[in-house]
Amino acid sequence: MWAYGFADPAQENGPGTSVEAPGPAEAPAAPSPPENPPHRTQGAEDILSALRALGTPAVPKAGGRIFTLPIIGQIEGHIALPPQNKTTKYEHLIPQLVAAEESPDVDGVLIILNTVGGDVEAGLAIAEMIASLTKPTVALVLGGGHSIGVPIAVAARYSFIAETATMTIHPIRLNGLVIGVPQTFEYIDKMQERIIRFVVKHSRIDEGTLRSLMFKTGELTRDVGTNVVGEDAVRYGLIDALGGLGDALGKLKALIAEAREGAAWMPEAEAGRRSPPSSRPGVPARARSAGPDRAPGDGPPAGPYVQ
């Protein structure tokens, strides 16, 4: 008769053979860690961020105590612009200007301009903020400083324009629905006067020349105004001098040195809160360069854009 059961291990191995009971299985040895384990560092994160934003892994660190304020593209004000537009939002610039004015680590502000213009009131707000800073400011127009970019450029204590850069001077205009009544024209005219007064106050151009450039016909296609190229902007008195980045930084450092000398006589607690000598009553608000062929107070320069 066949029987189903378990075989005796002693019988299988023969008589006198002992069989050990199986013990617990040993756990596999953990792999040894590599000598240089990979890990993410702050430096790696900075490189990746630079690659995404600028397309280069090496971004030089800004030295010194100069704050750079770029104003690029179209100035966005109270109405949001389309997402494909390159914009500079004025609500982003104003807190930066306040921080630069209050920071003890900032000695001067460099404004880089390449703008097509934009919202008039937002642009004037930025210009007024720049003009009211007590710290030295220098503006550099690269490519273009058009429309409302003109008041922003002249708001700095000293301004440069690249030789190939341009500035378009034209009357303001309104977007959207416009009510065809005399009050609308009066509103536009008053806003235009605000821009003219600001530019004349903060530059060497006289009001007659500015109006002539602003309302000239035949210069721009389907528009009224004038396109002023680098050297002409200096001759008219809108901009102080031709130059580039090196010139702007050199002038700003010179203004910072002058401000430090002017603050040397003040108590240390008041040195950072008092206005520079150039902004006090009885002292010219701006020490502008008139150039070798023209002295301050001379009439408007003769040029192809003057009617």
Tens digits of residue pLDDT in 214-235: 888 878 777 788 889 989 999 9
Contact 118, 77 (CB under 8 A): yes
pLDDT above 70 covers a percentage of the chain that reads 64
What's the mean pLDDT in 115-130?
90
Query: 62-273: which CATH topology?
Result: 2-enoyl-CoA Hydratase; Chain A, domain 1 (3.90.226)
Within 8 A by CB and 6+ apart from 119, the residues are: 75, 76, 77, 78, 79, 90, 148
Where do we find the tokens 């995404």?
Answer: 52
H/E stretch holding 114: strand 108-118
- Given a cut of 50, whether residue 304 has pLDDT beyond it is no
Please report which residue ranges of 84-222 form alpha helices under DSSP H. 90-102, 120-131, 149-155, 182-201, 207-214
Residue 147 among the catalytic residues: yes
- Respond yes or no: is residue 39 known to be catalytic: no
> Of the residues 147, 159, 202, 203, which is catalytic?
147
**Alpha carbon distance 43, 210 (integer Å):** 51
| Token reading at 1 | 């008769």
Residues in the chain: 307
The one-letter amino acid at 83:
P
Phi, psi dihedrals of residue 114, rounded to the nearest 5°: -150, 75
Domain ranges of the chain: 62-273
Select which of 18, 103, 159, 170 is catalytic: 170
- pLDDT-derived band at 51 (thresholds 50, 70, 90) equals low
Looking at the chain, the number of H-run helices and the number of E-run strands are 10, 8
Specify whether the CB–CB gap between 76 and 91 falls below 8 A.
no
Whole-number pLDDT of residue 272: 45
pLDDT digits (tens, 9 = 90+) for 264-281: 655 444 444 444 444 433
Kindly state the percentage of the chain with pLDDT values over 90: 35
Contacts within 8 Å (CB) and 24+ apart, 12-21 = none
pLDDT band per the 50, 70, 90 thresholds, residue 83: confident
